[in-house]
Amino acid sequence: MDHETSPLNGSFGILINGVTRQNLSDKIFQAEAYDIWLSCGGLVAVRGEDLRDITPSELVAWSNVFGIVENKTQTAREDKTVPGFPILRIGNIKDDAGKPRAQFAIVPQLQDDSDIRYNPKTRRPVWHTDSTFREFPPIGSVFHCRIAPPAGGETLFADMRTAYERLDDEKKLELGKLEAVCSLAHHDKKINAYSPEYPVLSPEQRKANPPNRVPLVLEHPLTRKVALYGLNSSTCAIVPAGKDVSDEDLDIWDLKGIEDKSVGILRDLLPYLTGPDFTVKWEWQPGDIVVWDNRSTIHAATGFEYQKFDREMWRLTLNQDKGRIAA
């Protein structure tokens, strides 16, 4: 690749610098970026002054390099999109009438880098992979910065591929027999408890979005690398593969936002998974675009002084592979 590239943490993550909008439409550059994405654990960032002015159409086209962009918006978030595009706005921006134009959740700001590691007492940061509650969870996500505060608002990433490789064989065997029960209703109720502006599902929406189950250990279909999986705010229980759960338990998890104690299997691992050997702190600049692979990474949001500064991010979801394999 002709552009300057920088590793983000060892073999995990790559920054490609000096990128232009023209580069994003170049077939050779696209192929090189895609191969880097797969080979570096599913995390690639592009940065360049020119990217501040990227259009929604250009962002969709760039996202399609890494997978097929989902064309619908997640339930209860339809009014937070870029009009005419499958792009969800995230941040604290509002329209002229003071109505929020973006999805926003209040989360703590990092005080220092020690806060990156998961804290069992505060359960922060909220490390997760995306949308495991869906029947076919998305393969990845694309995040583009439009407006960044002067401090805070970083996005954290962790390498589940390398973290899994370093587990002992006994723990790998234990985790390989388990599944996560994941529910959108549980996810939204849990977040709403600490961020009241966050939407919760109506009874009709809950019925239309039943829980899903995913394995805790997942083999990537293209790279064949194995990683830990299933960690999401929607994860309400960890059960042996194939074991049934009761409607009564689901009602408690969904309507009260209370997770089963079995989720401790994952929570107990989180301080290890989010240690400095496996993590990246991405500090946003306007124009930045980051693409991550949900099958080999987890990520977490951090807060900023939202009452003083604005933040606007554009997010797209990748719901299928293109079927290519890294060279």
| Domain boundaries, given as residue ranges, for the chain | 5-320
> Residue 77: what pLDDT?
64
Catalytic residue (one of 47, 89, 117, 130):
130
What's the token pair of residue 170? 């006994």
Angle between helices 184-194 and 247-256 (to 10 degrees): 30
Whether residue 299 lies in the annotated active site: yes
What's the token pair of residue 56? 């929604």
Q: Are strands 88-91 and 68-69 parallel, antiparallel or unpaired?
A: unpaired
> Residue 204: what pLDDT?
94
Per-residue model confidence as pLDDT tens digits over 189-209: 988 888 887 889 999 999 999
Cβ neighbours of residue 118 closer than 8 Å, sequence gap 6 or more: 124, 125, 127, 267, 270, 271, 273, 274
From residue 285, how far is each of 12, 151, 165, 210, 251 by CA, in Å?
A: 20, 10, 33, 38, 42
Phi, psi of 230 (to 5 degrees): 90, 5
As a whole number of angstroms, the distance between CA 207 and CA 266 comes to 27
Whether residue 315 lies in the annotated active site: yes
Kind and range of the H or E run holding 28:
helix 27-39
> Residue 74: what pLDDT?
58
From residue 163, how far is each of 74, 159, 172 by CA, in Å?
A: 30, 6, 11
Per-residue model confidence as pLDDT tens digits over 62-74: 999 999 999 876 5
Catalytic residue (one of 117, 128, 144, 295):
128
**CATH class of the region 5-320:** alpha beta
Is 281:113 a contact under the CB 8 Å cutoff? yes
> Which residues of the chain carry a pLDDT beneath 50?
76, 324-327
Catalytic residue (one of 144, 146, 295, 299):
299
Phi, psi of 79 (to 5 degrees): -85, 5
Q: Which of 172, 174, 151 is nearest to 163 (CA)?
A: 172
DSSP 137-152: --SEEEEEEEE--SS-
As a whole number of angstroms, the distance between CA 318 and CA 203 comes to 27
Whether residue 128 lies in the annotated active site: yes
What DSSP state is assigned to residue 108? P
Whether residue 311 lies in the annotated active site: no
Is 66:320 a contact under the CB 8 Å cutoff? no
Q: Are strands 217-219 and 212-215 parallel, antiparallel or unpaired?
A: unpaired
From residue 7, how far is each of 36, 62, 130, 280 by CA, in Å?
A: 11, 21, 24, 10
Give Cα 175 to chain centroid, integer Å.
Answer: 22
> Residue 76: what pLDDT?
47
Global model pTM greater than 0.85? yes
